[in-house]
Amino acid sequence: MPPVSTNDLKNGMTLNLPEGLMQVVDFQHVKPGKGGAFVRTKLRNVRSGAVIDRTYNAGEKMEQAIIDKREMQLLYRAGEDYVFMDNSSYDQIEVQPSSLGDAVNYLKDSDNAIMNMYGDEIVGVDLPAAVELTITETEPGLQGDRVSGAKKQATLETGHVITVPLFVNIGDRVKVDTRTGEYLTRV
What residue segments make up the domains of the chain, in order of their start?
3-64, 68-126, 130-186
Rounded Cα–Cα distance for residues 2 and 141 (Å) = 59
pLDDT at 139: 87
Q: Are 42 and 56 in contact (CB under 8 A)?
A: no
Q: What count of other Cβ atoms lies within 10 Å of the Cβ of residue 149?
A: 6
Asked if 3-64 and 68-126 have one fold, the answer is no
- For domain 68-126, the CATH class is mainly beta
Report whether pLDDT(155) > 70: yes
Q: What is the mean pLDDT of residues 141-158?
A: 76
Torsion angles phi and psi, residue 103, rounded to 5: -60, -25
Please give the CATH number for the structural domain made up of 130-186.
Answer: 2.40.50.140
Report whether pLDDT(145) > 80: no
Torsion angles phi and psi, residue 101, rounded to 5: 65, -135
Closest CA relative to residue 64, chosen from 1, 119, 20, 12? 1
Task: Provide the phi-psi class of 20: left if phi over 0, else alpha when psi is between -120 and 50, else beta.
Answer: left
Please give the CATH number for the structural domain made up of 3-64.
Answer: 2.30.30.30
Report whether pLDDT(26) > 90: yes
pTM of the model: 0.72
